[in-house]
Amino acid sequence: MWIEQLKNGNYRYAERYTDPLTGKEKKVSMSNVKKNKRVEKEMFMKLHEKIELKLRKSTAKLNFSELTAKWLIINSKQVKPTTHDTNYYALKQVNNKIGSVQLDKLTAAMINNVLLEYFENDDFVYTTVNDRKKLIIRVINYGLEYGYLTDHTLPTQITIPKINVTAKKDEFKYLERYELATLLNQFEEKNMVEEVRLCKLQTFTGMRFNEMVSLDYRKDIDFENKMITISKNYSPSKKEFFLPKNGKVRKIHFNDEAMQLIQEQIRFDQMKMMKSNLNRENTLLFRTNYDNPYPLQSMNKFLKKIELDSNKELTTHIFRHTFISFMVEQGIDSRLIAEHVGHSNTEMIEKVYSHFTEKMNDNLKRAVNSVQFF
């Protein structure tokens, strides 16, 4: 706060503040005939009440969806593209429910009801809903820090009941061979040939899905030496290519079956290019009719409709894990597997080896118990 004496002998008390919506500096002022410590203290309080009122009016125009958009811009500069994509799609689901709510109308009860719906309508497990809660609180704390929200008790009032708590899940989910065959058959029955090739190629190579759909078949695939160069990872939310997850370009081998799949997909793409008049310069191996990489979200949506007796949760990542499980079964060194799939260490591969050792021990016990020596 600063004080100016006016020509009429009165005093102007002024204070600056930043409008969170525009980022511009603004000023508020009030006049008084006196200037002493008591008046200065009184005017300081009144000016800050005036600023708070203006901020409330300003931020009241903003809704929760707009706040999340602002937070995501900051978040994109702090985390890896894959993490940002996860946050983006999680908040998109939240915004489908409360995105249009004005910030001055936002309450903890609204947010708690949204989180409760994830249990009741979507059958989410506790850890998933808890992660969603933490993400919402991060957005709200951002809003409080930058003046978009004023109720500092709001984050403390957001709670979820401890339901749908599962025992610690086996983090490594993969498909048995018969399950993979069932899944592919269901796609084939619907004539979803491109989806079949996506599933098979990911299983044969262990690539991440967004690495696979980033492949340019002219630049990244060496047919003579049966090598794929993985140099890009597509970010659906930013619609840009970035380096692979660990920041390193790698080369992987592929077998004859993968070679046949790739050649089939190239022919398929060329037919699609002529039929839909697609860009001839675009040689992505898997692309949409809009010349974009095949979307991860669409593939996961199709996988949710697949029915397996085991009721395993199906996402594209399960094919990558299936590749790893096949390599472990073959006794391939964990370091070589980790390098192939782009892991920075062998920790996860060692856990898989441990899992398969236990499985083989169980099989051995059953075999011993079933043997009749006399």
- Note whether residue 359 is domain-resident: no
Examine the pLDDT at 168 and tell me if it is beyond 70.
no
- Asked if 17 contacts 51 with a C-beta cutoff of 8 angstroms, the reply is yes
pLDDT bracket for residue 337 (50, 70, 90):
very high
Axis crossing angle, helix 193-205 with helix 256-276, rounded to the nearest 10: 150
pLDDT bracket for residue 170 (50, 70, 90):
low
- Note whether residue 164 is domain-resident: no
The CATH number given to whatever domain includes residue 106 is 1.10.150
Domain that holds residue 305: 177-344
pLDDT bracket for residue 54 (50, 70, 90):
confident
> Which of residues 59, 75, 101 is at a domain's end?
59
Q: CA-CA distance, 42 to 48, in Å (whole number)?
A: 10
pLDDT of residue 22: 60
pLDDT bracket for residue 279 (50, 70, 90):
very high
| β-strand partners of 284 | 216
The CATH number given to whatever domain includes residue 231 is 1.10.443.10
Examine the pLDDT at 371 and tell me if it is beyond 60.
no
- Note whether residue 349 is domain-resident: no
Q: What is the pLDDT of residues 104-140, one digit of tens each?
A: 899 999 999 999 998 888 778 888 899 999 999 999 9
- Note whether residue 169 is domain-resident: no
Same-domain check for residues 8 and 33 = yes
Q: Is the pTM of this model over 0.85?
A: no
Same-domain check for residues 48 and 74 = no
Amino acid at 68: T
Tell me which of 41-45, 46-50, 155-159 is least confident: 46-50
Same-domain check for residues 193 and 316 = yes
Show the 3-state SS of 125-157: CHHHHHHHHHHHHHHHHHHHHCCCCCCCCHHHH
> Which parts of the chain fold into alpha helices (H)?
37-59, 64-76, 81-98, 108-120, 126-145, 154-157, 177-189, 193-205, 209-212, 256-276, 296-304, 317-329, 334-341, 347-370
- Note whether residue 171 is domain-resident: no
Same-domain check for residues 226 and 89 = no
Q: What is the pLDDT of residues 21-34, one digit of tens each?
A: 566 788 889 898 88
pLDDT bracket for residue 70 (50, 70, 90):
very high
Structure tokens at 270: 């060329």
- Note whether residue 373 is domain-resident: no
Tell me which of 35-39, 111-115, 199-203 is least confident: 35-39
Same-domain check for residues 48 and 191 = no
Structure tokens at 223: 């047919």
Q: What is the pLDDT of residues 302-333, one digit of tens each?
A: 999 999 988 888 999 999 999 999 998 888 89
Same-domain check for residues 191 and 323 = yes
Per the structure, the count of domains in the chain is 3
Say which residue the tokens 């980790």 belong to.
Answer: 338
Same-domain check for residues 231 and 118 = no
- Note whether residue 351 is domain-resident: no
Structure tokens at 22: 């525009």
Same-domain check for residues 256 and 286 = yes
Rounded to an integer, the average pLDDT of 41-63 is 78
Rounded to an integer, the average pLDDT of 285-312 is 92
pLDDT of residue 164: 78
Same-domain check for residues 317 and 188 = yes
Same-domain check for residues 119 and 47 = no
pLDDT bracket for residue 169 (50, 70, 90):
low
Sign, Cα dihedral of 196, 202, 203, 208? negative
pLDDT of residue 359: 64
pLDDT of residue 57: 63
Structure tokens at 21: 């919506």
Same-domain check for residues 92 and 134 = yes
Phi-psi region of 338 (alpha: psi -120 to 50; beta: other; left: phi over 0): alpha
Examine the pLDDT at 368 and tell me if it is beyond 70.
no
Rounded to an integer, the average pLDDT of 138-148 is 91
pLDDT of residue 314: 93
Same-domain check for residues 203 and 75 = no
- Note whether residue 45 is domain-resident: yes
> Looking at residue 81, what DSSP letter applies?
H
